[in-house]
Amino acid sequence: MKQTQWVIFLTCFLILPETSFAAVKLGQSCALTGPTAFLGTEMRQGAKTYFDHHATDVTLMTKDDGYEPDRCRVNTEAFLHDGVQALFGYVGTPTSVIASPLANEQKTVFFGALTGAGFLSDAAKNPYSFALRASYDAEVENMIRHLHEDLGVKKVSLFVQRDSFGLAGVSAAVKALEKIKGIEIAPQALPIPAEGSSPEEWDNFWNSVPNYKRNTVSVGSAVRQVRGNGAEAVILIGTHRPCALAINQWHKMGFNVPMVNLSFVGSTALAARLKDNSNVYISQVVPNPWSDELAIVKQYHEDIGDSSKYDFVSLEGYIAASIIHHALQSVQGDLTSDALKKSFESMSNYDAGGVKVSFSPDDHRGLDEVYLTKIEKSGNDIKFVYIDKLPKKEK
């Protein structure tokens, strides 16, 4: 080959993109304002940090939905109309309940939502939806098992958000009690109404469960209901503001039983609002954001830069971004929805820097690991300690 031909060949090779696509647009609807803005802001920041450092060919377009389903629907329809390659990093169950069916109707991948709701990993019903984090079923079962086996708790109360998020928590608790004998919910919740049930049936169900309305802090009635039913522990299925207010009120009443929060609560925001963190625990679905033992967390530290910005939610967003980037890079041929779907389904035991992720055509949930943490707070200094067993009595 002549020298000029080599120059032409090498020049063409060097300007080829790493993948078969030039640029990718991802649509994200989440709360950037309102009571749940902490979660949306952190999820976006973690994902954007990854994309800015490692995937400049990916553009994350974010719209604010205030954690309200109707606004999420408008945002999602706009993203789909604009032809995004995937919907990514949504925040919450009630918003994902709206967005996921829209994505599946348009055969657009819906990935990495900040929710453990089971429907997202149901490959038969939602073939284009993929869940990264462990399910709420796994989290709640782990909570109840620890409460019963570590502490001998026989009666636990639920405190839940009155919507599909809270419903997922109640359903998870019911399923867990079918496996774990010797513990019960107090007060006993009525059976979950079937699809298509009347508003009266739903009202009767919700009245049997201590609850509060989404995006409010109207928790007084539920706080009193929990306090008066003889519960030995409380499982909280909610966000940081109402959960912190409820815990603070219970402590003021002298009610100091173990209180275990679902991961969606927003751990650092919850801890900052607590006046007393004794007997307060939080379930987690990601490794310790402050420990650099894992390669993905070390990379997260380097990219975030400021250690005061480390957080469970932003780390989840960061990991989710790295996974979808890997799936995009693994696409063979043109980047279509079906090609991206196939790329996810071919991801078996993928090592994402110490976090093993697996999907398959029949299983659209990538991670199953759940952890339990307790809060250690000294002045403004807040730490989260990963624990293997609930202590019988805190010092």
User: pLDDT per position in the chain (395 positions), as tens?
Assistant: 444 443 333 333 333 334 445 689 999 999 999 999 999 999 999 999 999 999 999 999 999 999 999 999 999 999 999 999 999 999 999 999 999 999 999 999 999 999 999 999 999 999 999 999 999 999 999 999 999 999 999 999 999 999 999 999 999 999 999 999 999 998 888 889 998 899 999 999 999 999 999 999 999 999 999 998 889 999 999 999 999 999 999 999 999 999 999 999 999 999 999 999 989 999 999 999 999 999 999 999 999 998 889 999 999 999 999 999 999 999 989 999 999 999 999 999 999 999 999 999 999 999 999 999 999 877 778 889 999 999 986 54
CB 30 within 8 Å of CB 264? no
* Residues 127 and 142 occupy one common structural domain: no
Q: What is the pTM of this model?
A: 0.91
Q: Which pLDDT tens digit goes with each residue over 107-131?
A: 999 999 999 999 999 999 999 999 9
Residue 5 lies inside a defined structural domain of this protein: no
Q: Among all chains, which residue has been given the structure tokens 């994309």?
A: 51
Q: Do 192 and 307 fall within a single domain?
A: no
Residue 158 belongs to domain with CATH number: 3.40.50.2300
Q: Which residues have C-beta within 8 Å of that of residue 386, sequence separation ≥ 6?
A: 284, 288, 371, 372, 373
**Domain total of the chain:** 2
Q: Is residue 174 part of a domain?
A: yes
Report the distance separating Cα 172 and Cα 187, nearest Å: 16
177 and 130, same structural domain? no
Count of C-beta atoms within a 10 Å radius of residue 19: 15
Helix residue ranges, H only, 83-185:
93-105, 136-151, 164-179
In a domain, 297, yes or no: yes
Q: Which residues pair with 62 in a beta bridge?
A: 28
- 280, β-bridge pairs: 259
pLDDT score for 19:
44
Q: Are 76 and 84 in contact (CB under 8 A)?
A: no
Same domain, 162 and 87: no
Answer yes or no: is 197 within a domain. Answer: yes
The verdict on 140 and 30 lying in the same domain is: no
Query: In this structure, are 314 and 336 located in the same domain?
Result: yes
| Domain-embedded: residue 55 | yes
- In tens, the pLDDT along 66-89 reads 999 999 999 999 999 999 999 999
| Assigned domain for 10 exists | no
